[in-house]
Structure 1
């Protein structure tokens, strides 16, 4: 993690001042792992892990150093999401999505808004939630039904979102709305709203199969925000989606899923290599060895694709190029399917007692439930439809 040397430049005090990024991530991962079983059981938000993210400065992971943050690269962010995914996939996804929001502010907010928000994020005082879902359109980013209205120097927001990860605990929100003067649903704006500027009502409960600690309950958000809190130009959110939201979502999500699968394999191997495991399992079994191999192959494949995709983006290739869009979508689809399949291989390898039961030390049952959400988190079916159209545009099949 190359940001270890930059860790001392943050504005935080306390015991983490000057500590390396690896040490900070290790602390958060330990907190997340300790409380993960209870939050999964009760479907509650990992407040202890969020407190640790604040305390260690990891909420400011991708905030530039000149605004008090750690100045991490995308590669650093992926490393962090992988490590947190080993401990608790919900925590890894929470941080990855928060950093996606931060990147939108860094790249597209006007100087006044950046100067207001980035130091607060770096100091651990501002956890950002994303409000992009709407009833009837799911997570589709490039349209909006709810329209913002102008009121003197303010924007009036009245927005319902069926899924807002961590919204009940967020300090601020980046909200997609139809631009005030929009004539079509495609003219979408991104607006920052502070919790204190909104009236927030939670609707219903959050009782999913997996990802229970993400607490992605529905919210109704209403309020007035200063007009300068629009991020980028009104009606031009598609640019932010193409440059920031889409690429970082696919990269960070895939890293979190990869960490979850790798952590599951690590726990299985540790169990098998222990004295008790050697007595209970035949480590020479062709069936066991074949399933371990299949799981490791899937994990290594996702890891290779993740690093290749990140490197392709780092080379500065135009993000709108079909081959880059196809690569990003392939990463998301492959990671979401293969990480889940790898954990399923592991359950088959170790059986009912060590793979399927909730109280198993391997935690495979939890990993499988969490990873089942991955193909649904911006639907793979929707991405395949987009990829079919993109493939037709790339007649020479130019590979990224």
Structure 2
């Protein structure tokens, strides 16, 4: 094969890859649109009744999106972080609770895919997630740990090839509706609080006894009640890798990117309502801008900053996704944690500007321009793993890193 033929072959390969990516993107867009439509139709009722967004999650099952990250060889689509976050953003625009449930589920699936491959039982669970479209919940908040997921009180007890676990899970989002739960625990009774393992459980492995309700300002449909979690299962349910690796390489970056995408979707929905209000008001005033126009501009600018922050961090994660050393680096761990802080604050800021752009019409709960639900849902963002906790935890580490000497360093 001469140089020209090789060049033509390489070009054809690139074009084929690009076409496949475009085709897959179009397919995901169609599936996502169907799910977002179902989510939007029940969003007001989900919020008002604080009920699980069943229609939205059923639509996600029907469109095979719950298993979208599962590798093709295990029956999934092998979706990337870019694919998943686009769905989170679209669902966030439709129904915050449904979107957050989807984001939390996908974070668990990401852990399963990356850290369960090579384990016979976890690979079988991947196949089940893809085939049955199982919904996976997360149990990381426990007792009085205040959301400190790197410290566990409950320990895994081992006996002749079986494990047992009793956990005071003060929050398990959509726990009663999930088909399985991924939970963290101390490796053993004599292990330190930070010596943790991740355990994947399916419904036959555990019981839940409700211990706390979920009557909240926003994100009401996530149904994040508290439970006493009691599990007894084969020891193979424990992930082979220690939780500290799973936390740094997958749990934190994927969770923060997915959550941030949901919050951006909420903010975008609020900005869209503000835009419709300003357009209507300007038409009614013969083209004169209403008093809230400046806040609409601020909302658009804030949303642009939020989206740029997310995409920059997503590109950074994707570029080192399979490089363990790069993922563990101080600069990456700091930036991915600060993404959560900045995205959550920007989402609240954006929705607040949108409400001020709409004025009383945005404040009302009974009009086309209401953004009350969006604001209440966005206000949960700084509190999910409290921003103050994150900033305090990384303060010492960031003091040890240098200040950039140029724009591109």
Instruction: Provide TM-score, normalisation by structure 2.
Output: 0.89
Secondary structure, counterpart of 2:227 in structure 1: strand
In structure 1, the partner of 2:172 is 164
In structure 1, the partner of 2:351 is 343
Residues 132, 373 of structure 1: CA spacing in aligned structure 2 closer, same or farther, 3 A cutoff?
same
Task: Kindly provide the CA deviation profile for residues 341-396 of structure 1, in whole angstroms up to 9, marking residues without a partner as x.
Answer: 111111111111x1111122234000000000000001100111123212112024
Q: Residue 256 of structure 1 is aligned with which of 259, 262, 281?
A: 262
> Quick check: 56-65 or 113-122, which moved more?
113-122
**How far 1:206 sits from its partner (Å)?**
1.1
> Quick check: 201-210 or 166-175, which moved more?
201-210
In structure 2, the partner of 1:296 is 300
Distance 2:256 2:392 in 1: 17
In structure 2, the partner of 1:238 is 244
**How far 1:114 sits from its partner (Å)?**
2.9
Instruction: Provide TM-score, normalisation by structure 1.
Output: 0.91
Residue 204 (structure 1) aligned with residue 222 (structure 2): no
In structure 1, the partner of 2:81 is 74
Secondary structure, counterpart of 1:381 in structure 2: helix
In structure 2, the partner of 1:306 is 310
In structure 2, the partner of 1:10 is none
Query: May I ask how many residue pairs the two structures share in their alignment?
Result: 384
In structure 1, the partner of 2:13 is none
Residues 50, 367 of structure 1: CA spacing in aligned structure 2 closer, same or farther, 3 A cutoff?
same
Secondary structure, counterpart of 2:168 in structure 1: strand
Greater Rg by CA: 2
In structure 2, the partner of 1:14 is none
Alpha carbons 1:4, 1:22 under 8 Å: kept: no
In structure 2, the partner of 1:315 is 319
- Segments of 5+ residues of structure 1 without an aligned counterpart are 8-18
Residue 31 (structure 1) aligned with residue 38 (structure 2): yes
**How far 1:152 sits from its partner (Å)?**
1.2
- Segments of 5+ residues of structure 2 without an aligned counterpart are 1-17
Alpha carbons 1:272, 1:283 under 8 Å: kept: no
In structure 2, the partner of 1:20 is 27
**How far 1:271 sits from its partner (Å)?**
3.6
**How far 1:217 sits from its partner (Å)?**
0.5
Alpha carbons 1:129, 1:165 under 8 Å: kept: yes
Residue 386 (structure 1) aligned with residue 404 (structure 2): no
Residues 208, 281 of structure 1: CA spacing in aligned structure 2 closer, same or farther, 3 A cutoff?
farther
Alpha carbons 2:38, 2:59 under 8 Å: kept: yes
Distance 1:278 1:26 in 2: 31
Residue 360 (structure 1) aligned with residue 367 (structure 2): yes
